[in-house]
Amino acid sequence: MAFDLDDTLAPSKSPVPEVTATALSELTAVVPVCVISGGSFEQFREQLLARLPTPATGWGGLHLMPTCGTRYYRRAAGAADWALVESRELDPARRRRAVHVVEETARELGLWEPEDRVTGARIEDRGSQVTFSALGQQAAIADKQAWDPDGARRTLLARHLAQRLPDLEVRVGGSTSVDLTERGVDKAYGVGRFAREVGADPREVLFVGDRLDPLGNDYPVLRLGVQARPVADHHETVQVLRELLQRLRGTSPGRA
């Protein structure tokens, strides 16, 4: 099982709701689970790990892949904290160029909002990924949702950036964001790495995400042949989690 985080397990940059966290913890005790998202590991700590009850079988069933799978974390039995297993960093020169081109292009397209509308970092250099967030990382959820409800602004920016930075992977991320990673190192890379780690064929993996459209950062997983379950938001994901637990436990909705 693999899940996106923002707008799939939780509202954008917000804590995973308790009901979702409980169901996800229960699922990791039954089947290996990967959470893969464009956010940093620090965001994973705040949004996911701080809310997640310790699974009955320990943390071995949970695999964390922040920054679109360019980093991979595990927590061994008895370990006090999560350890970095793998990282695919962009070299500093390419990151600096990406930051410059993102700002230049956003300004040209009229997508560079005035400072008084921005809360938190607008462009983040995450080492293995550069992320543009039009209203800043800490903007209110309602403001983010209102900024680009149909995705047209992010799609426009992503298309222009892909033309100007052909050596990078450019994908629409959260409700106001665009993610840039090394070409070929995306969520497909991460989910493939997860499948190898647990000894599964990628076609056996069920991926749940909200951005499976062609420019979305979940879309690359489809080339692996995974079973994909698109969701509209975290509310729908709760239903998916309940269905999965019922199926894996051999129960029916009436007996769950």
Task: Give SS3 for 33.
Answer: strand
Annotated catalytic sites, by residue? 4, 6
* Cβ count within 10 A of residue 84: 11
CA dist 142 to 17, 65, 88, 177, Å?
Answer: 17, 27, 33, 15
Check residue 111 and give its pLDDT.
Answer: 98
- Check residue 146 and give its pLDDT: 96
R_g over Cα of the chain: 18
Model pLDDT, residue 13: 85
Predicted confidence at residue 251, as pLDDT, reads 56
| Tokens matching residue 106 | 């956003």
Which residue type occupies 23?
A: A
pLDDT for 19 equals 97
pLDDT along the chain (256 residues), means of 10: 96 93 96 94 96 92 95 93 95 97 98 97 94 95 94 96 96 91 92 97 97 90 96 96 91 42
Burial pattern 109-126, b for ≥16 Cβ within 10 A else e, equals eebbbeeeebeeebbbeb
Residue ranges and CATH numbers for the domains of the chain are 2-87+185-249 (3.40.50.1000), 92-182 (3.30.1240.20)
Known binding residues for alpha-D-mannose 1-phosphate are: 126, 177, 179
How much is the pTM? 0.87
Binding residues, by number, are 4, 6, 126, 177, 179, 210
